[in-house]
Amino acid sequence: MREIKFRAWDTKNNEMRSWDDISRNWTMLELERQSNCIIMQSTGLKDKSGKDIWEGDILGGDFNREYSEVFFNEKWAQFMTRSHISTGSLNKIDHLEVVGNIYENPELLK
């Protein structure tokens, strides 16, 4: 069974916070009400180096040499990637690597 994990981007302090760090002080509902926290879920997948892939991560190493953002597509109920060129599923990740995230490295997607 896959573990369901969360993390949050703290917009007030501009830092990524682990779920263990933030859950000590707030419940999920309280955290969602905080305007300074953006909650992200783990996809349950790992990149080519064995690093967890999260919502909001930026992946590199694809065949187009483009960076792609990981997001949850509610219509298809699945995690997907998107770049300025295309949108796709996360079904072939053995060649991809997490190179950053949309909050700490937004310049990678420009």
> What is the fold, at CATH topology level, of the domain defined by 6-103?
SH3 type barrels. (2.30.30)
37: confidence class by pLDDT, cuts 50, 70, 90 = confident
What's the mean per-residue pLDDT of the chain?
86
Sketch the domain layout of the chain as residue ranges.
Answer: 6-103
d(CA 86, CA 94) in angstroms, rounded, equals 19
Nearest to 72 by CA among 53, 94, 85: 53
pTM for the structure as a whole: 0.84
d(CA 53, CA 61) in angstroms, rounded, equals 14
Confidence (pLDDT) at 7: 92
